[in-house]
Amino acid sequence: MDAARRRGVYGSPAEGLQLDVAEAMQLSPLVPGADALEGLTAESLTDLVMVAPPGTTERRYALALALQALAPEAPFTVLAPKDKGGSRLAHELDAFGCAFEESGKRHHRICTGRRPVRPEGLGAAIAAGAPRRVGALGLWSQPGLFSWDRLDPGSALLIETLPPLAGKGGDFGCGIGVLAHAVLRSPKVKALTLIDIDSRAVEAARRNVDDPRAEIRWADLRAGTAGLANLDFVVMNPPFHQGGIEDQGLGRGFVATAAKALRRGGVLWLTANRHLPYESVLKPLFARVETRAEGRGFKVLAAHR
């Protein structure tokens, strides 16, 4: 790449949109190993393509960080599916003082423009979307993370149901670390590996889980067990959304990865919406599956390897 060019891409634009992201550095928190948008030197990017995230506050935060990182008058393309924030992009870019053109393709709104010399309102949007300690949880969190400012009822049911665990375990899709807190209350737990694909969750979990038995990793569990094997237990509230889009295959992949990471006799503790058919996913992979709790629209399953 031309030494003077420093291209960025945030997320993975659908191929059919034919956007040029060659040699661009990946900046999405959902791609393990990516550079952090918030860590870039101001005005250092020469162009950016951004698949804007679905939540309003997280999207305005990401847009503001992007405009802060772009050089004055550097070109940008920002896009999102129409029903996942795309229809609001123009209004939001307008509020930052951007001049741009808007078009539509393959259910996306696409805004193409140049970073203004003096964008407006970046500080307020960055402050509104930044990591912070959430009083109600007593934990660090950030808008855009799963159930970021309240305990999810499914996670709460799992926490209430879990017996004291023992040995080596995994917290798959750890989020900000709410399940890990409950697991680590048991003195018989020797080691717990927390894994999440979202660097914002990983950063929050690092602040929240201060325990020498815990190891926190930024990794994609679709790619395998991240080297984990012979675990005594795994806990999870598996994801069923990716980028705001429902994807039940994600949860199935989580279960298959847990089955590989557990020792024979090890137990997967899983919480899920009652309507999600996890039993049929678990039964071929585990020796025994029990429903251990039900309530508030959720169920807790214990699957014995």
Which residues make up the interface to ligand SAM (CB under 6 A)? 146-147, 152, 155, 173-175, 178-179, 195-198, 201, 220-222, 237, 239, 250
Q: Which residue matches tokens 């990401």?
A: 62
Least distance in angstroms from the C-beta of 180 to ligand SAM = 8
Minimum distance from residue 159 beta carbon to ligand SAM (Å): 8
Q: Name the residue with the smallest CB distance to ligand SAM.
A: 173
Q: 122 in helix, strand or coil?
A: helix
For residue 248, CA distances in Å to 48, 79, 81, 89, 148 come to 31, 24, 19, 28, 21
Least spacing, CB of residue 81 vs ligand SAM, in Å: 18
Find residue 114's DSSP bridge partners. 75, 99
Q: Closer to ligand SAM by CB, 49 or 195: give it.
A: 195
* DSSP track, 199-268: HHHHHHHHHH---TTEEEEE--GGG--TT--SEEEEEE----EETTEE-HHHHHHHHHHHHHHEEEEEEE
DSSP annotation of 108 reads: E
Looking at the Cβ atoms of 111 and 219, the one nearer to ligand SAM is 219
Token pair for 7:
């291209």
Identity of the residue, 93 or 258, whose beta carbon is nearer to ligand SAM in the bound complex: 258
**Token pair of 240, please?**
């069923």
Closest CB to ligand SAM among residues 24, 236: 236
CA gap 294, 16 in Å, rounded: 43
Q: Which is nearer to ligand SAM, 74 or 194 (CB)?
A: 194
Q: How far is the CB of 239 from ligand SAM (least distance, A)?
A: 4
Residue 185 tokens read as: 């209350």
- CA 155 vs. chain centroid, Å, equals 16
Task: Rank residues 111 and 258 by Cβ distance to ligand SAM and give the closer one.
Answer: 258
CB of residue 152 vs ligand SAM: minimum separation in angstroms? 5
**DSSP character string of 156-194:** HHHHHHPPPP-EEEEEET-TTSHHHHHHTTSTTEEEEEE
CB of 171: closest distance to ligand SAM in angstroms? Answer: 7
Least distance to ligand SAM, CB of residue 145, Å: 6
Q: Is the Cβ of residue 68 or residue 155 nearer to ligand SAM in the bound state?
A: 155
With respect to ligand SAM, which residue has the nearer C-beta, 64 or 201?
A: 201
Supply the DSSP symbol for 153.
H
Measured from the CB of residue 170, what is the shortest distance to ligand SAM in angstroms? Answer: 11
Q: Are 112 and 90 in contact (CB under 8 A)?
A: no
